[in-house]
A = this chain, B = another copy of it.
Amino acid sequence: MASRNKKDICEILCINQKKVNAVRKVMQTDGVIKKLAETFKVLGDPTRTQILYALAQDELCVCDLACLLKKTQSAVSHQLRVLRNLDLVKYRKDGKIAYYSLNDIHIRNLFAEGLEHVKNP
């Protein structure tokens, strides 16, 4: 263990340097990877998954969603903010009521692919 540095991050020797170099060339940039992971992460919470799936069917207000998902209004509202911040949903105000709807054309495709994965083992 003596030869290894405290942090063997940079010291790690590749077994197949050529392959690694080739793969490195086609890797996405850190920025893209970060955004990609961010996108998947948002979809990776059951509450948000359900909200988005519901909104993929119809425009709904906050209390409708809360009723549908059997969650508190607060919990739903907090998650809607997350989705709003990422521009995945939009909303229109009708008096006191806020009607939310999908604002991303890729969400449905992602769900379709995801369901394919879940249902076809």
Contact = CB atoms under 8 A, between A and B. Distances in A.
Interface residues of A, number: 65
Contacts of A19: 58, 60, 64
A106 interface: yes
Interface of A: 7-10, 12-16, 19-20, 22-24, 26-28, 32-46, 48-50, 53-54, 57-58, 60-61, 63-64, 66-68, 70-73, 97, 104, 106-107, 109-111, 113-120
Contact of A113 (B53, B113, B120): B113
How many copies of the chain does the oligomer comprise? 2
Contacts of A48: 37
A52 to B, nearest CB: 10
Q: Is the interface of A mostly helix, strand, loop or mixed?
A: helix
Given A36-B49, A115-B36, A119-B32, A12 B43 contact: no
Contacts of A13: 63, 67
A106 B110 contact: no
A16 B98 CA distance: 12
B115 A113 contact: no
